Amino acid sequence: MNCSLESVIVAHPFFEGMKPEYFEDIAGCATEATFEPGQILFREGEPADKFYLIQRGRIALEAHEPADGTVPVQELGAGDVLGWSWLFSPFVWHLQARALEPTGAVVLDGAHLLIAAERNPTFGYDLMKRVAHVLIQRLQATRKQLLSRA
C-alpha cells in the first residue's frame, strides 16, 4: 500500500476516530481516480461496487425522472464520501453521479469492505454507523430538493 494513499485515507473525515487496526483492510482495497468535468462516475441501476472518498473537486448526485429528466439532489466536494449502495442488496446505484469539475478521489472496493465488515463485526458496526450518518444527510438533501420543487 502506498504510504501517502494510506495517510490520505486515515485523514479523511469519514474515518475520523476509527480504530487504527481497521485501516489495513480499508487501505488494502484503495486506488486513486480522477474525473473530468461531465464524466459520469456511475448511473442509477448499474451494479454498485465502489466507495469514493472525495479529495478535491465537486460531484453532483442526480436522480433521473422520465417526465422531468435529470434532477439534482446534492453536490458533494472535498471531504465528502460517495456511494453506499455496495453495502445493501440489490447492490445497485440509486442515483447518478457526475463530476462538475476536475475531481480526485480515493476509490475503495465495496465488496472488499463488505467482506471485511462481515469478518469483523466490530469493524462492520463502526462502518455501518458511519454510512448511516451519510444516508441521513442524503435523505435530508433529497427532502430539501423535493420541497424546493413544490
CA distance 142 to 124: 26
Residue 26 vs residue 138, higher pLDDT: 26
Per DSSP, the chain holds a count of helices (H) and strands (E) of 4, 8
| pLDDT tens digit sequence for 42-93 | 999 999 999 999 999 999 999 887 777 888 888 999 999 999 899 989 999 9
Q: What is the mean pLDDT of residues 20-45?
A: 93
What is residue 139's predicted lDDT score, i.e. its pLDDT?
A: 86
Q: Cell 486513486 sits at which residue?
A: 32
* Residue 94 exposed, middle or buried by CB count within 10 Å (0-12, 13-18, 19+): middle
**Which run of H or of E encompasses 3?**
helix 3-11
Confidence of residue 1 (pLDDT cuts 50, 70, 90): very low
Q: 103-116: b or e for each residue (b if 16 or more CB lie within 10 Å)?
A: bbbbbbbbebbbeb
Distance of CA 132 to the CA centre of its chain: 12
The answer, yes or no, to whether residue 24 has pLDDT greater than 90, is no
Structural domains in the chain, sorted by start: 3-145 (2.60.120.10)
